[in-house]
Chains A and B, each alone.
Chain A
Amino acid sequence: MNIVVTVKQVPDTWAEKKLDASDRTTDRKSVDNVMNEMDEYGVEEALRIKEAHGGEVTVVTMGPQKAVETIRKALSMGADKAVHLTDDALHGSDALQTSKALAKVIATLSPDLVITATEASDARGGVMGALLAERLGLPQLTLARKVTVDPAAGTVQIERQADNGYALVEASLPAVVGVVEKINEPRYPSFKGIMAAKKKPLTTLGVGEAGLDASEVGLASAGSKVDDAEPRPPRQSGTIVKDEGDGGAKIAEFLATQKLI
């Protein structure tokens, strides 16, 4: 199995997310950056499939130079090699442009299986998997809480998480599979893994080397524009209900006005 797993470096999950005042792109400079937490599940699943069926796991990311830290983490968890698409021209790319760039890179790797997380915690668009599948011309299985591949039959079957149960969905390989956090418990890198990661192949590609034209990507030609942004208003102080024998009724009334019941 030739498995590609996409990862993204994002501002630390618990950091306050801000936009850069100059161009209203995500501020990545003033915060700690980490591997998108949900991508850890994708990497883990890719490693488990490789461990069960053999093959190779390639990590693909697009992001600034610093994103190499996230690649290192995936490699120290056990991935075999990585491709890092990085170029100043990519700065400010929207989801459509990003998917175009990533699909270009992924297509050259001829994967049997592409694994993505459901979303990244910075933009939370949740569309990258679908965009990649479309651009690669591959079937997409989403919200997988369990993945079973049958390389001999050339199929992948998933349990697709639903509100009250799951659906069994199957596709022929190659395919794009999006996983949810329930799927596994990601491993920590090991000390030996950290040492070994330094020696694993890492290909760094600029826009031109990836076969893209700088005019297709980046903030200037992005299809979506951020005109303005406001920080979330500070949380309002709550309503205090004094229980004078009618506390239950008052709480119910409050919940009803909030349309919660």
Chain B
Amino acid sequence: MAFPETHERETRTLLSRHMGEEEARTLDGWRERGGYGALEKALEMEPDEIVTTVKESGLRGRGGAGFPTGVKWSFMPEKGDDPHYLACNADESEPGAFKDRELMRWTPHLLIEGCVIAARAIQAEHVYVYVRGEFFEVIRILNRAVTDAYEAGYLGEDILGSGWGCDLTVHVGAGAYIAGEETGMLSSIADGRAEPRIKPPFPAQSGLFGDPTTVNNVETLSSVPMILDNGADWYRQWGSDDSPGTKLWCCSGHLNRPGNYELELGMPLKDIIHDVCGGVPEGRQVRAVFPGGSSTPILSRDELDCETTYEGLSEAGSALGTASPIVMDESTCIVRAMRRVAHFYAHESCGQCVQCREGTAWVTKILERIERGGGEMEDLDTLYDLCEQMTGKTICVLADSVVFPLESSLDKFRDEYEAHIKHDRCTATA
């Protein structure tokens, strides 16, 4: 399987260094590349020291919310009689995101190593890796790697003779986007429906099976070994103060070179689009971008100067999310694009909260009608109203995931909606 060439501005030295190398998947190949060295180091450290190092590195969660990882770990209570768990979120389902799959396909041992280090840091005796059910290849690769890691003593009762150990289970999900929300995932692992629950209590207080649990994303955990290997300062040489390090960017849509790119945090969005990804095909212009996946507020062509850090995208009125820019050129009908996005979230709503269950579906129906021809100007007011009532009132943020892109598209592309309503068809792409 070929892997795309490295772009000159890529920092393909860290997370994605061994992507594309078949042997890196095997235990021997991984060891030859220095694999499990960080784990050996971690086994000689006190759990607190590991937490401190990760805290100092400034690593932020790559699952979407960007919460500082070391800080999250420090929320775990002191280890008592109750078991502690680490749950690795490998349910990657956000439209636009495809980085975790690549990490697991190419470097499964990197994830395992990160999991074991994190488990030691939070004193977990069991790690669950919750993999999206449709990732057949990944599941096969991961299972293989886990078996090998057990055999080699990187997993199990007494890891590398340290006297400390932990187990790791690959848990295959059943195909629901909402299983990626952390409390929904924990419920799914424990044989329940993938339904988020109200917080508090947070997973660190009451998580898997009611015990203290930390949930981390695949990319987050895969970033841990290099931080332990090289130290927090080393990691901070990339990115900004608030967004240190590098990150995988899943670039899709109307691009000449879509794909996964490991980039230093902070590159202007327009450079990612035009330079790294080779711009938009056939000389067309960008119309809009969902910069962090389909749940982030839409940016118009004039807003692409922003820096791709957590803070930079937030200042631009959007969010880094899963760092998955979906680029749409002039051939894209915004109404149609929004209808597709809304439909996705309506389909994936777990259905507990009235605002989300009914709101996402209602919004979708209105957008469908506008798209079909049959919209009315009042529909736009209704959409704004519904957005208002779907924001910040539900158990999880899935409802907000429709509101962010929808409301921003209404603000920024109102003329397109209006034209659509007036002419009962899309005029922008005609």
Q: Are A and B part of the same complex?
A: no
Contacts from B to A (Cβ < 8 Å): none
Contacts from A to B (Cβ < 8 Å): none
